[in-house]
Amino acid sequence: QVQLVESGGGLVEAGGSLRLSCAASGRTSSSQGMGWFRQAPGKEREFVAAISWSGGLPSYAASVKGRFTISGDNARNTVYLQMNSLKPEDTATYYCAARRFTWDYWGQGTQVTVSS
């Protein structure tokens, strides 16, 4: 199995930046990629960004494209989400996930709150 732990959330003003981190442990060699999702109160979980360890361009939700950047380390043990130009609508609990055939593993989440 794979364990994921997010960190880096907090309270920021609109227009500010945060950098989220996700540390993976366990059978990380089974992971084909990692990504970020978020869930606001009363809303369904939504996709934010993802990377594939096999290569190719990262993917982003339209709502964050141009503002957020996902990246990972060479050991495939850490993934980051650089969040710039934050908006109040970005307020949510952000979850790190790892996939093989689907999104199999999830972290506990880290809270991001953007004030207006």
The answer to whether residues 41 and 21 touch, using CB atoms and an 8 Å cutoff, is no
Q: What is the pLDDT of residue 6?
A: 98
Distance CA 19, CA 33 (A): 19
Helix (H, G, I), strand (E, B) or coil at 24: strand
Distance CA 52, CA 38 (A): 19
Distance CA 29, CA 14 (A): 38
Reply yes or no on whether the pLDDT at 59 is more than 90.
Answer: yes
Question: What's the mean pLDDT when you consider all of the chain?
Answer: 95
76-108 residue pLDDT tens: 889 999 999 999 999 999 999 999 999 999 999
Amino acid (1-letter code) at residue 90:
D
Reply yes or no on whether the pLDDT at 28 is more than 90.
Answer: no
The model's confidence at residue 29, banded by pLDDT at 50, 70 and 90, is confident
Q: Specify the residue for token string 């594939």.
A: 52
